[in-house]
Amino acid sequence: MTDIQIVTGNQAAAIGAMLCQVQVVSAYPITPQTSLTETLSRFIEQGQLKAEYVRVESEHSALSVCIAASSVGARAFTSTSSHGLLYMHEQLHWAAGSRLPIVLCCVNRGVGAPWSIFNDQQDAIAQRDTGWIQIYCRNNQEIIDTLIQAYRIAEAVYVPVMVCYDGFVLSHTMMPIEVPEAEAVKDFLPPYKPHTILSPDEPRNINPVTFPWRRYDDRGVLCDGYMELRYKLQTALENSAASIIAANDFFADAFGRNHGGMLWSYRMEDAEVALTSMGSMATEATTAADILRDKGIKAGVVGIRVFRPFPKEAVRIALNKAKAILVFEKDISYGYEGALCTDLKAALYSTDIRVPVHNYIAGLGGRDVKPRELVEASEDSLKIIASGIREPKTTWINCFTG
């Protein structure tokens, strides 16, 4: 029997972590993430989840606890937002470099100064080069499903996974979701098999100072130097696309819900104008595409689900028939353009896809983004393209720039 619950995005994430039978939860309160770990603490207190809940004094310590727990063989979970994620920055690198399959929920929120508790994706985008897989969710059902998939992915490739979703827009909005049966999740998610275990019976040093070159250890084994370890992490990230797609496909077979693997598309079969975005704004783009269709414009949507590793091959296939690509994003790489737009252009470089790519920055600090504004921006882009302007400036939607 299907279990339908009406929950917030944070509650959906907490239920997902419980179904994954996480063994260690460590977190520090920060808006809008706090209610996620509050829900998990209640599950543990009530005996619904047999796990250790570790209260710490900072987000840096929260991820440090997860690193230690994962190193000794426990399935670990944490979550944060905004400056909490930035405070974890050092340990984000450490978790990835140690190849630990930790799952972290980033409840996306703007970064100060000035202070904002409202949503954009600047926090996660700022950490895209730390070696974590990044997956962006568009609704509460996708949050719970992605969190369950995240452990399967992380433990297959030994790379940590960041499950990102928009603060308040999803974290505090209630939606009906289907909650998978616990036994079905247990069948979907194999037991965690750590690649390092700390034991008094087999003492070892983990992550000592590593020399630039390869060298032999005390047993005569030739060990990697720093560059080889970095190369292996990069290769694992690049190859993780296969595990991400496989996890999504297996999940779809087991539970009947397919979220698209690396990306998803909407009405792209004959689309000439492709709207591209991540997270909840990509959902808004589907409504905008419908409106544009009603106006006689063949529009569709390519939603980027996985930002790291970037879905280069999938993007090339999804956009190969588009005559214009419009990128809408809730971030800015200061001094250039939106990070998604830059990566998208790089993916299309050296291909036969030679079409205008227009970048729109929207929704920073929680400013509303309505489908009609995406429609107006799309119409403006088509006028610019028709006028022959080859490379327009990055445009800020609903922002006073005078």
Domains of the chain: 3-188 (3.40.50.970), 265-396 (3.40.50.920)
Angle between the 226-255 and 89-97 helix axes, to the nearest 10 degrees? 90
Q: What is the pLDDT of residues 286-337, one digit of tens each?
A: 999 999 999 999 999 999 999 999 999 999 999 999 999 999 999 999 999 9
Nearest CA among 127, 132, 26 for reference residue 79 = 26
What pLDDT is stored for residue 329 in this prediction?
98
What pLDDT is stored for residue 138 in this prediction?
97
- Bond preceding residue 356 cis, omega within 30 of 0: no
What pLDDT is stored for residue 207 in this prediction?
81
The end-to-end CA distance of the chain, in Å, is 57
Count of helix runs (H) and strand runs (E) in the chain:
13, 17
Question: Average per-residue pLDDT in the chain?
Answer: 96
Pick the more confident residue, 34 or 194: 34
What pLDDT is stored for residue 199 in this prediction?
76
pTM of the predicted structure, to 2 decimals: 0.97
What pLDDT is stored for residue 18 in this prediction?
98
What pLDDT is stored for residue 142 in this prediction?
98
**DSSP three-state, residue 102:** coil
Mean pLDDT of 106-130: 98
Mean pLDDT of 157-165: 98
What pLDDT is stored for residue 1 in this prediction?
59
Q: Can you tell me the distance from the alpha carbon of 104 to that of 135, in angstroms, rounded to the nearest whole number?
A: 11
The count of residues in the chain is 402
- Among 205-209, 273-277, 355-359, 396-400, the minimum mean pLDDT is found in 205-209
CA distances from 251 to 262, 303, 386 (A): 14, 19, 44
